[in-house]
Chains A and B, each alone.
Chain A
Amino acid sequence: MITKRIIPCLDVKDGRVVKGVNFQKLGDVASPVELARYYSECGADELVFYDITASAEGRTLFTEILTETARTVFIPLTVGGGINTTEDFDRVLKCGADKVSVNSGAIRDPSLVGKAARLYGDQCVVLSVDVKRVNGAFRIFAKGGRENTGMEAIEWIRRCVGEGAGEVVVNSMDTDGVKQGFDLELLEKVCGAVQVPVIASGGAGKIEDFITLFKTLPGVDAGLAASIFHFGEVRIADLKAEMSRNGIPARI
């Protein structure tokens, strides 16, 4: 039976992991390559590298890190951040990314998803969305959540999947950082609207939040989180053991 995936997300700026990392076992806790290797050994099913660099130097550094990671880590690797053109897809795929995640780039150029899907295949194109409730409606936010596009979330997701997005990462800005659990209401709507894999993001604070997510919404394929893994609040091995005890298929 196919397993539910657990995906740590690493925000990388100027070649270092940001958002803080707190591991005793690691020498250089801010090295994305070391952290990626550590997570892979801990049983992470996939990794997301998110490039939050603005400078050209930072971008070069990011691709170098990606290359180095792909050399030593043999689980699927998704890359996001600053993906605006098919050339950006090409740049990170050549360095060992398996999937590329687009967010603001697709909002700026709605033809990007379709163009990339035709060039690299649907399975390679991940749509990432930042969603927030505004007056009771789910809206798409751009530029790292700073700008309300006014677009209705489900409509946008459905449209991008229709264009060829092979997977959707749904980040709820309402639950992100609150650590009180995933946004089940939003995720249920997304699962009902598309047939491609759905990855839940934003709100996980403890193991039980993942158990609730997968038990309540069988349509969700994966759970993504950052700081709770980085700070050791949730250990992937413990999480997977608990999933297994609850009858949720997990790769152990």
Chain B
Amino acid sequence: MTAIIDYGVGNLFSLCCSFGAVGEEAEITSDPETIRRADRLILPGVGAFEDAARKLRESGMDRLVKEEVSRGKPLMGICLGMQLLFEKSYEYGEHPGLGLLKGEIRPIAERIPEGLKIPQMGWNALRITGSSPILKYTKDGDYVYFVHSYSAVNCGDSLLAVTEYGTDLTACVGKGNVYGCQFHPEKSGETGLKILRAFCETEAQA
């Protein structure tokens, strides 16, 4: 069973349905017992970093997620949930994240040429830069759906795939049992479902 962590951010209905489409049982939950019992965790999120990070802290989910990850349980962050995995974000100030991955979140406006719209909204191609179990069914040039104004930088060896939007932006990351997608796999058609399927095939690491 995959637990989709509900900490009061965003709408989780489609995300939950997408697991059904790959034959995985998924539960939207904020119950610590269910989260401990789950085989895998999904950290979702839309909206502002500071608000989401605060809700994670206030609900105690930050500690619980870190505990479960340290026990080897696979975790995938999606969109803002992926950004929360990093050390900090510079979205309206400077805010700490979970620190599960090295790197930080910066506005894409700093890096892309003028004239490109912000947010990046729409389908863009992946260029795979690292190998990972979650990309085992994905190939270079596969399209996924993005909606974001910020992106991860200085990710080091956790970088798995980038997308070109005037410059290379971090699209997918992973290190150990922690994974993240800047795009929405649950809205990326077959390509997205393949990534979710691959994630559901990952097992807890000893």
Interface residues, chain A, CB within 8 Å of chain B? Answer: 1-3, 5, 40, 45, 67, 70-72, 74-77, 93-96, 98, 121-123, 166-167, 195-197, 221-222, 251
CB proximity of B26 to chain A, nearest CB, Å? 12
Whole-angstrom CA separation of A121 from B11 in the bound complex? 12
Q: Given contacts A74-B193, A98-B187, are A221 and B123 in contact (CB under 8 A)?
A: no
Binary contact track B82-124/A, C-beta < 8 Å → 1, others 0: 0000000000000000000000000000000000011111111
Provide the bound-state CA to CA distance between A75 and B125, in Å.
Answer: 15
Report whether B187 and A76 are in contact in the complex, using a CB–CB cutoff of 8 Å: yes
Name the CB-closest residue of A to B80. Answer: A121
Measured CA separation A28–B89 after assembly (Å): 49
**Bound state CA distance, A196 and B119, in angstroms?**
8
Residues of A within 8 A of B120 (CB): 2
Q: What per-residue 1/0 map shows which CB atoms of B143-178 lie under 8 Å from chain A?
A: 101110000000000000000110000000000000
Q: Which 8 A-B pairs have the closest CB atoms?
A: A251-B143, A251-B123, A71-B17, A2-B124, A3-B123, A123-B147, A96-B14, A2-B122
* Chain A to chain B contacts (Cβ below 8 Å), 28 pairs: A1-B124, A1-B164, A2-B122, A2-B123, A2-B146, A3-B122, A5-B123, A67-B13, A71-B20, A74-B17, A75-B145, A75-B189, A93-B11, A94-B11, A94-B13, A96-B14, A121-B47, A123-B46, A123-B119, A123-B147, A195-B117, A197-B117, A197-B121, A197-B122, A221-B117, A221-B122, A222-B122, A251-B143
Contacts of B204 in A (CB 8 A): none
B contacts, CB < 8 Å to A = 11, 13-14, 17-18, 20-21, 46-47, 117-125, 143, 145-147, 164-165, 186-189, 192-193
